[in-house]
Structure 1
């Protein structure tokens, strides 16, 4: 069975197992079943903090085992997510065992739902100091843009950010659209664990290396569901505008004052190929417009008034606050 590195970056690696090899293809047909077992090893400089498995085919049994040096005193926990539900704790805790100076954590589930994502995370309570730390070298704080790069966000200067994303032909490209949305949800989850977004947040497919017309937006309101945008386009812009500071994950060291309409009408396509029209207002309109710009190959810098420059994030004084609007 061959495999393919779909994403291969320092901070994020995604491997696909393929139903083929150099002798030909061997697809699964209705009624067929197969048991797949695979393993891989990473070095102590590359093992990261999480492992995620997405269910893309009907599955009877899924089992994951993580093995770490026991001397690091690892602890492991996990969450379950889907395209329609927020992250929740795994229904059962990973089982722990010791074997040859290794600590093993095994978790399994029966008949997982299609497109469910199971994420196992860990930390080391006795991790030794790095070589630089042991030598007394001061390790400087990571810049916001570098932090986002480490989380797999494509940074300013990459050609993909200046190109119009390719639209999906739905429903015929349903599977490709689902994969893109799945990757966006996973990226949003990673980013939300290291940064709080009081104004809400969004991320577009080109920002994670996928040149397709998909984006997801998480509104600022507590409990509001995540908005999925497939093939979005603005069909109407209302006259009233305002200017607010925006940030962008692809150059997160600065904030820019950007004029935006207070109300927009947006047309999107569902996975099933149905066209929907929605009106967004104020902060949510700003978030949605920002992500649609990404899909059109635009950064908010092109929306700023002539002569206005972004400010360093250190000078920004609205972190942790929502955008302000007149009542």
Structure 2
């Protein structure tokens, strides 16, 4: 629920008002201090437009902490409520110019209510690791529904559909259990086979294909088909909410076969009972295509994955330049849009890594030269902090020295001294100047991002003679920094 609330940029108070509960109760449920009922889960899902994910999380745990289950042991989604995906088959076929994606899912309604629609997501990125180039491309050539030629069927019956979100490179669509001839809801205890397909030019599609598990799923498979003459190579990673990206636990199988259009290379991967919110990402290099120079994006290292998430990497000139302050409130809309882009980038980054220490992101790291940064505190007790035109005006004499990471050089960790208390002046969207005091972990996180806006990496703050260590040597991943009580 918290992840969806942050994605929708809602405070706990705003969510409580939308749901009709008190803010205190919403906060207690969000932090696991009180059970949430079935009614609570449904209202949270509706208020946050979560597409059933919050409800499914509740049903999977049978209320998590007891709730309406009377303290019984958790049960599986099969015996509770909501949709279950019994079989999920995804195929992406490339003919040398156009990608065609076909999704075939057998779904079962284990809930108490008829299902009348099904949410699907379509996202493309032609330039992983270069957000500025991607932004320019999709602003000039946005992905349209006419381009997609989306079609959908339920048990062979055509389905109507309607957009939920329509962005230049991202779509959310409701597939509706109806058409011009009538309605055909999926009633409790029934199952159906959904099949939908869409097309995207390779001018808009990048060398990756990701599957996210948003509903309880029994079987998941992915099939990639390329012309054999392109000499494709395929690999992949998997990520969950409790673990950073790692290589796929089972291999991608490769075969070559004849087709009406010539010989094709087929890559297949499958898994059973994947955890909710797991993400499986397949990438490829077409080594037989001269335009690729024989090299595709290799996402096997932490920095490669940050690059694929749209984070500018060390060596890019923008990381060495001071950011340009906003003229607020005159540039309020520009600042607001950039904050939205930073929040979206943080969501992408979290698909690849779990941040036990909190995290931050500065505008230069997504290719923007403006003075804006977001800091997500460690733990679950606070909202992300937005910093516009930040400037450190005072810091404590007391420092400590701990390991830091940076999304722009994520293969290493460095021991960095940092003040334990900072006073930071920054500007609200309406132009009001504000001074905020940050201590301990937040002081370190904020200083790191302010340094980015000044054109510095943490390497500039390390003591002479101290060098970073590889992430393989680092033993603090996923754990918060430690501070003595003061």
Same fold (TM over 0.5): yes
Deviation of 1:135 (Å): 3.7
1:48 maps to what in 2? none
For the pair 1:103 / 2:209, whether they are aligned, the reply is no
What pairs with 1:147-296 in structure 2 (closer than 5 Å)?
A: 147-296=305-454
**Cα pair distance change 1:204/1:40, threshold 3 Å:** farther
Deviation of 1:97 (Å): 6.5
Contact 2:377 2:383 in 1 (8 A): yes
* Alignment RMSD: 3.6
More helix by share: 2
What pairs with 1:302-321 in structure 2 (closer than 5 Å)?
A: 302-321=460-479
**Cα pair distance change 1:17/1:149, threshold 3 Å:** closer
For the pair 1:10 / 2:103, whether they are aligned, the reply is no
Which residue, out of 15, 39, 47, partners 2:145?
39
The structure whose Rg is larger is 2
Cα separation, 2, equivalents of 1:69 and 1:217? 44
Q: Secondary structure at the match of 2:380?
A: coil
Cα separation, 1, equivalents of 2:371 and 2:150? 35
Higher RCO, 1 vs 2 (CA within 8 Å, ≥6 residues apart): 1
Unaligned runs of 5+ in 2: 1-124, 155-162, 166-171, 180-193, 199-209, 214-219, 226-231, 234-251, 256-266, 268-283, 285-297
1:127 maps to what in 2? 222
Deviation of 1:96 (Å): 4.9
| TM-score under structure 1 length normalisation | 0.67
| TM-score under structure 2 length normalisation | 0.46
Runs of 4+ in structure 1 off by over 4 angstroms are 65-70, 96-99, 121-124
**Cα pair distance change 1:68/1:282, threshold 3 Å:** farther
Cα separation, 1, equivalents of 2:164 and 2:173? 10
Deviation of 1:224 (Å): 1.1
2:458 maps to what in 1? 300
Contact 1:96 1:104 in 2 (8 A): no
Deviation of 1:141 (Å): 6.6
Q: Secondary structure at the match of 2:223?
A: coil
Cα separation, 1, equivalents of 2:377 and 2:253? 43
